[in-house]
Structure 1
């Protein structure tokens, strides 16, 4: 591909005052893309991760746990708009329980841990240019949240979408904002580096970071995990959960045969003819929860050595420039996954945690569960399961968008006695009701009411 196309992209980034670390990383991934790199990880190059240490079997001295959490910062990824649910603002602004949003519950979790462990425990969000203003405005309702002069957020970088044909920057005058995209959550590292935040955190006396998605309310502050990670001396650790038959889509950790290094493999890095290996929960028994632990000093050392470019595996995300218009030009978004950084750090490790630390909301199916009596909400902002097995929920296309979901579900049914709930067609949940056992509501051709 033409170097002219690359220079056009880089000039566009410079004109937008994008920091040099982001520009250097974009150049790296553009060149990978132009060379035809696919990022595919063959099954014959890895072996499964079978026996990581388990959180429920850890023995961590209480004083060590307290000391570690006092040196920890909580970083939440908050760049997603939840467009698949029809949202145009940060997904974390969605109400979860009693009118309280994801952001409100995250704040409650952190404030509770600060008091319990007498810890400063900064809370910092990685926002995107699309989520920053609304999120900070909402967080202003929690005065005193910032600590030690540290910011409440740092900005995820932006990069140009590139044309699938020629790899030059796309132009879309109808909505110039659509010419840009975030580089995936692998941008965490160059964003920490390029903004100077990693130096500020270390300078303020913080050594460890607990990183998780903002829509995962299970990833609350955990002193035991902090104590284990500090004692491990590892530069990096990933939380994994046991897979079930319903966990076939998420990425998993594996051990690279050539050097014994832990790596992350996602769906996009698996050849179609090897997907049966990827989805086999017996062959690869743990999935990646996207909850990470970082030793900030060791991460900074690697960033310094690599001049801010970790060189994570490329993810080619092919879309149209306007996601709502399938006839708009085809583009490629150059992305990376933050969990893929595990392969950059010799000595990186993993720990198996319970499903209580993995409660993400990707669709309205999960939102219904969190709003239901399947979970109790504690004063500490944590959601705790009230059942032995979380029921499976499949609401169907009529509930995909949040406006339709809120219109059809005005009274959340009891799901404590449910094994599964499958809904097809528009059913109104607008009065107290109970779902027991396996319930399948068929499309009746017209709206119905569940009683």
Structure 2
């Protein structure tokens, strides 16, 4: 443990972070070094029963009486995980300010939704954004534009931890890397201690708040659900993870299992190699974690104070300016096993609509969805319950390029799959149906004309349209 002693003194000398952050970091590293990884015995894994993973349609209806609904909503805080940058989609700022639909960003939609709740029921549901040092400054500027809305917006930063140099286990900043490259945000499992360290947790408890609804800011389906909140309050569940049926696109997502009498999250990283294919099958593990989480605030306080939230550590190796570094992270979903009466709720797929890439943006900007009161709602005219699968080539990867290549987003209500490769440009009013593949030949610009209707076709040049 000599490594740890060296590290402690190096970390103590870092002026950029607080004592809480230093302690949290050392704590994480010492857990990692002690190799306390929890090994799952495959034979002990059980499929959770309906008591543990409750089917959504068995929840009792939320209260009819607006006064009762107000009472319920006044117990709630909505927290969006806002630490991510839109870099994978070619944007520099926080991902939550990418325009999703009708010129509105993720953040705009979230604010509109909560404003509507507050107006309709006369309640006060605050919005809390957990930023990282990467998104903090930009988010503060953006939040300013909502200052006249009927919604309290709070922000706090998640922890900032030093990246570890693999070679000698020293913090990267103490080797002169004092810029942003020297640091990392340690995953969303950090939401619980950071909420407490920021003073926000105690402030909400003193206002009589009881539950926090945590979700990724890029999940358009993660809207406040009164039935779920009502169920948790009635049954005194300290933690609830929304899960939804797996499709072949979600085979890597974590799943809920019953293990030694407790419900817990099983992630692909914890699965022994010989069982990975079984983990990915949709037969044995039918559900996956949406990362929509409902957690009791008093329980968070109790567990953070007792230092009992020891989630599985996810080592994330990176390279910074040619130096191999390690980031130790945790995930909020893994905390489920530490809470009392923790449950999953098997929710409709509509509550999971993440926008991770421009192919997802195409779905939500198309006629497959409409926008009502800040909610993105699926078009009833689509018969197929699953969304079309969409693969766009690298030319479409950045949001700016994606937008410039479509004069208008095609109609895709009857589309099954779309694959686009090469230098392809779309005109206005195009309709795509069935299985469509469009491949421009290398070095050739392929323009799909306005108003084209393409059904079950492979297109390699203008002559195929």
User: What TM-score, normalized to structure 1?
Assistant: 0.91
Alpha-carbon separation, structure 2, partners of 1:443 and 1:100? 32
Query: Of 387, 398, 421, which aligns to 2:395?
Result: 398
Cα gap change, 1:160/1:146 in structure 2, threshold over 3 Å: closer, same or farther?
farther
CA displacement 1:115-136 (0-9 Å, x = unmatched):
2222101111001111122222
Query: Of 165, 169, 172, which aligns to 2:171?
Result: 169
CA displacement 1:171-221 (0-9 Å, x = unmatched):
575772111000000010110111111100000111111110100111112
1:153 Cα offset (Å): 0.8
Match of 1:439 in 2: 436
1:277 Cα offset (Å): 1.9
Q: 1:156 and 2:147 equivalent?
A: no
Higher gyration radius (CA): 2
Alpha-carbon separation, structure 2, partners of 1:61 and 1:376? 25
Q: 1:371 and 2:365 equivalent?
A: yes
1:350 Cα offset (Å): 1.0
Counting only pairs closer than 5 Å after superposition, residues 236-251 of structure 1 correspond to structure 2 as 236-251=239-254
Alpha-carbon separation, structure 2, partners of 1:9 and 1:39? 29
Cα gap change, 1:58/1:389 in structure 2, threshold over 3 Å: closer, same or farther?
same
Match of 2:201 in 1: 198
Match of 2:459 in 1: none
Alpha-carbon separation, structure 1, partners of 2:13 and 2:271? 32
Query: Of 120, 130, 135, which aligns to 1:116?
Result: 120
Match of 1:331, SS state, is strand
2:132–2:158: 8 Å Cα contact kept in structure 1?
A: yes
Alpha-carbon separation, structure 2, partners of 1:102 and 1:377? 12
2:4–2:30: 8 Å Cα contact kept in structure 1?
A: no
Alpha-carbon separation, structure 2, partners of 1:406 and 1:174? 37
Match of 1:338 in 2: 332
Match of 1:299 in 2: 300
Match of 2:225 in 1: 222
1:165 Cα offset (Å): 2.0
Alpha-carbon separation, structure 1, partners of 2:305 and 2:10? 25
1:69–1:222: 8 Å Cα contact kept in structure 2?
A: no
The CA RMSD over aligned residues, in Å, is 2.0
Alpha-carbon separation, structure 2, partners of 1:195 and 1:424? 47
**Range with greater deviation from structure 2 (23-32 or 59-68):** 59-68
Match of 2:457 in 1: none
1:408–1:426: 8 Å Cα contact kept in structure 2?
A: no
Alpha-carbon separation, structure 2, partners of 1:43 and 1:12? 44
Alpha-carbon separation, structure 2, partners of 1:397 and 1:61? 45
Cα gap change, 1:39/1:403 in structure 2, threshold over 3 Å: closer, same or farther?
farther
1:265 Cα offset (Å): 1.9
Alpha-carbon separation, structure 2, partners of 1:112 and 1:118? 10
Match of 1:449 in 2: 447
1:398–1:425: 8 Å Cα contact kept in structure 2?
A: yes
Counting only pairs closer than 5 Å after superposition, residues 419-438 of structure 1 correspond to structure 2 as 419-438=416-435
1:321 Cα offset (Å): 2.0
1:375–1:385: 8 Å Cα contact kept in structure 2?
A: yes
Match of 2:374 in 1: 381
Counting only pairs closer than 5 Å after superposition, residues 85-124 of structure 1 correspond to structure 2 as 85-124=89-128
Counting only pairs closer than 5 Å after superposition, residues 182-193 of structure 1 correspond to structure 2 as 182-193=185-196
1:38–1:316: 8 Å Cα contact kept in structure 2?
A: no
Match of 1:141, SS state, is helix
2:54–2:343: 8 Å Cα contact kept in structure 1?
A: no
Alpha-carbon separation, structure 2, partners of 1:224 and 1:45? 33
Cα gap change, 1:3/1:246 in structure 2, threshold over 3 Å: closer, same or farther?
closer
Alpha-carbon separation, structure 2, partners of 1:393 and 1:40? 37
**Range with greater deviation from structure 2 (268-277 or 70-79):** 268-277
User: Gaps spanning 5+ residues in structure 2: where?
Assistant: 450-465
Alpha-carbon separation, structure 1, partners of 2:340 and 2:165? 36
Alpha-carbon separation, structure 1, partners of 2:316 and 2:404? 33
Match of 1:29 in 2: 28
Match of 2:370, SS state, is strand
User: What TM-score, normalized to structure 2?
Assistant: 0.89
Match of 1:325 in 2: none
Alpha-carbon separation, structure 1, partners of 2:6 and 2:213? 38
Cα gap change, 1:410/1:165 in structure 2, threshold over 3 Å: closer, same or farther?
farther
Alpha-carbon separation, structure 2, partners of 1:200 and 1:145? 21
Match of 2:16 in 1: 16
1:9 Cα offset (Å): 5.0
1:65–1:228: 8 Å Cα contact kept in structure 2?
A: no
1:95 Cα offset (Å): 0.4
User: Gaps spanning 5+ residues in structure 1: where?
Assistant: 323-327
**Range with greater deviation from structure 2 (27-36 or 109-118):** 27-36
1:450 Cα offset (Å): 2.4
Cα gap change, 1:66/1:9 in structure 2, threshold over 3 Å: closer, same or farther?
farther
**Range with greater deviation from structure 2 (163-172 or 392-401):** 163-172
Query: Of 70, 79, 82, which aligns to 1:78?
Result: 82
Alpha-carbon separation, structure 1, partners of 2:276 and 2:13? 38
Q: How many residues were matched structurally?
A: 437
